[in-house]
Amino acid sequence: MQRGTNLGRLGGYNQAVILDAIRRAHEGVARVELVERTGLSPQTISNVVRRLVDQGLVREDRKTVSGPGKPRTVLELEVSSRFAIGIHLDPAVMTLVALNLHGEVVARARHDMPGAAEPDGTVEAMAAAVDALIAEAGLDRGRILGVGLAAPGPINVPEGMMVSPPMLPGWDRVPLREPLERLTGLPVLLDKDVTAAVVAELWAGEREAPANFAFIYLGTGLGAGVALGGEVLRGSSGNIGEIGHFPVPDEVPVCGCGRRNCVGMSLNFGTLIRQAIDAGIFPADHDAQQLPETTAAILELVRLAEGGQAEAMAILRRGARNLAFVVAQVVNVLDVDTVIFGGPLWDALADLALPLMRDEIPQHVVAREIHRLEVVGSTQGPEVGAIGGACLILDDAFSPRASGLLLGS
Ligand SMILES: [Zn+2]
């Protein structure tokens, strides 16, 4: 069974199929082409298109000339007829975006979360941030499809809550979805930040998204999201991709799970800062223990390595090798042909990490003689979680599920 939804699709299945075909045709699509692409009858297309035009979702008033023959009238998405809002809830910062129907960011905001150690007041702060974003961008509230919330896992999807996320010790079973719906008056969807990032790649990527990929998410935590056959995978409870306790060959400080070889612990900010202190890079009394100071310390380590500091480079290389080893195991389990790195920290790490990853990961991939493995960085930037949150809404409203039904017609 497909996952449940609380938004409801915009219209029926055929409408979703037609809207999806129009959405994907950025240059516009003529009715006759829609017949070819969807396998639906001209009559069905005519009926649905009239409804879409009436709803303001689609326009049909532009002629294009391509090749010989008379100009053709094309259908185009009315990209600003609806909007989706995404929120990424991170231990250090809350990021918001509003997307139009092409998945383009039309408004954005960032709010530090100094009180994130305590969940009290956070939902109210989210609702206020949504209101402020709508007001500042001058968006018509009636055109907003909903709010997609991307949060660190683990999450309880039916209850709409985070459940003891490791980086937010004060947050045990905090309901988010229902109170946010109540405060904003908008439908809210909740998903893991890594899964939201996958949806962002599928919906809002600058390039055509690959069908089979793993998204390795680097933020204050580490996680993986997965798409297979062009569909986002969520697992039985929406908690797919918990890779933090995968073992690495290296010995690392003891993890919360009791073992000494967890990849998450090897990349933990505290571990890296400790190594930098031991290597004499940071002073012995370096006291960065809390976000956002720990993030700043890691970025400083990256800056030193890029400036040619050998010890800093050695620490980051060691972490990168550990991560590459685990990413290769993810590739081996899923048989994906693309790895996309992204998340709030990725842009700062990319110049250093991408060549290392391209070199290291394939060495541990079993099928490396059989298919190429692309290792790329996300083009979504540090806002990928928030963009993904908004894409959850677009996906829910527009995606024709059971896409296989179209084949063979
Ligand atoms: Zn562990």
Walking along the chain (409 residues) 10 residues at a time, the average pLDDT comes out as: 42 82 87 91 92 92 76 91 94 91 94 71 92 96 95 89 78 88 95 95 84 93 94 94 95 94 95 95 86 88 96 96 97 97 93 96 93 94 95 86 34
CATH number for position 90: 3.30.420.40
Q: How far is the CA of 260 from the centre of ligand 1 (A)?
A: 7
CA dist 87 and 110 (Å) reads 10
Instruction: Looking at the structure, tell me whether residues 244 and 190 fall in a common domain.
Output: no
Q: How far is the CA of 368 from the centre of ligand 1 (A)?
A: 28
Would you say the C-alpha torsion 6, 12, 14, 20 has a positive or negative sign?
negative
Q: How far is the CA of 241 from the centre of ligand 1 (A)?
A: 14
- Nearby residues for ligand 1 (ion, Cβ within 5 Å): 245, 255, 257, 262
Residue 114: its pLDDT value, please?
60
Instruction: Looking at the structure, tell me whether residues 219 and 365 fall in a common domain.
Output: yes
Would you say the C-alpha torsion 236, 214, 333, 326 has a positive or negative sign?
negative
Instruction: Looking at the structure, tell me whether residues 88 and 163 fall in a common domain.
Output: yes
Instruction: Looking at the structure, tell me whether residues 36 and 114 fall in a common domain.
Output: no
Q: How far is the CA of 246 from the centre of ligand 1 (A)?
A: 7
Q: How far is the CA of 91 from the centre of ligand 1 (A)?
A: 20
- Asked if residue 323 is part of any domain, the answer here is yes
Instruction: Looking at the structure, tell me whether residues 233 and 356 fall in a common domain.
Output: yes
Instruction: Looking at the structure, tell me whether residues 152 and 259 fall in a common domain.
Output: no
In whole angstroms, what separates CA 12 from the centre of its chain? 27
Could you give the angle at the alpha carbon of 261 between the alpha carbons of 256 and 264, nearest 5°? 60
- Asked if residue 8 is part of any domain, the answer here is no
Q: Are 114 and 107 in contact (CB under 8 A)?
A: no
Please give the structure tokens belonging to residue 59: 């326009």
Residue 8: its pLDDT value, please?
46
- Asked if residue 142 is part of any domain, the answer here is yes
Q: How far is the CA of 267 from the centre of ligand 1 (A)?
A: 12
- Asked if residue 246 is part of any domain, the answer here is yes
Whether the bond into 292 is cis, omega within 30 of 0: yes
Residue 258: its pLDDT value, please?
95
Domain hosting 292: range is: 210-378
Instruction: Looking at the structure, tell me whether residues 350 and 314 fall in a common domain.
Output: yes
Give buried/exposed letters for 356-383 (b at 16+ CB in 10 A, else e): bbeebbbeebeeeeeeebebbbbebebb
Instruction: Looking at the structure, tell me whether residues 261 and 150 fall in a common domain.
Output: no
Q: How far is the CA of 315 from the centre of ligand 1 (A)?
A: 20
Q: How far is the CA of 408 from the centre of ligand 1 (A)?
A: 47
Q: How far is the CA of 153 from the centre of ligand 1 (A)?
A: 15
- Asked if residue 403 is part of any domain, the answer here is no
- Asked if residue 405 is part of any domain, the answer here is no
- Asked if residue 7 is part of any domain, the answer here is no
Residue 377: its pLDDT value, please?
96
Q: How far is the CA of 47 from the centre of ligand 1 (A)?
A: 56
- Asked if residue 409 is part of any domain, the answer here is no
Region of residue 235 (left: phi > 0; alpha: psi -120 to 50; beta: else): left
Burial class (CB in 10 A: 0-12, 13-18, 19+), 395: buried
Domains contained in the chain, number: 3
Instruction: Looking at the structure, tell me whether residues 174 and 57 fall in a common domain.
Output: no
CATH number for position 48: 1.10.10.10
Instruction: Looking at the structure, tell me whether residues 96 and 70 fall in a common domain.
Output: no
Residue 117: its pLDDT value, please?
63
Q: How far is the CA of 311 from the centre of ligand 1 (A)?
A: 26
Instruction: Looking at the structure, tell me whether residues 353 and 282 fall in a common domain.
Output: yes
Q: How far is the CA of 289 from the centre of ligand 1 (A)?
A: 20
Residue 3: its pLDDT value, please?
36
Q: How far is the CA of 318 from the centre of ligand 1 (A)?
A: 18
Instruction: Looking at the structure, tell me whether residues 141 and 251 fall in a common domain.
Output: no
Q: How far is the CA of 283 from the centre of ligand 1 (A)?
A: 28
Q: How far is the CA of 167 from the centre of ligand 1 (A)?
A: 14
Which of 78, 95, 123 lies at the terminal end of a domain, its last residue? 78
Q: How far is the CA of 359 from the centre of ligand 1 (A)?
A: 26
Task: Name the amino acid, one letter, at 127.
Answer: A
Which of 58, 78, 98 lies at the terminal end of a domain, its last residue? 78
Q: How far is the CA of 264 from the centre of ligand 1 (A)?
A: 7
Q: How far is the CA of 299 from the centre of ligand 1 (A)?
A: 24
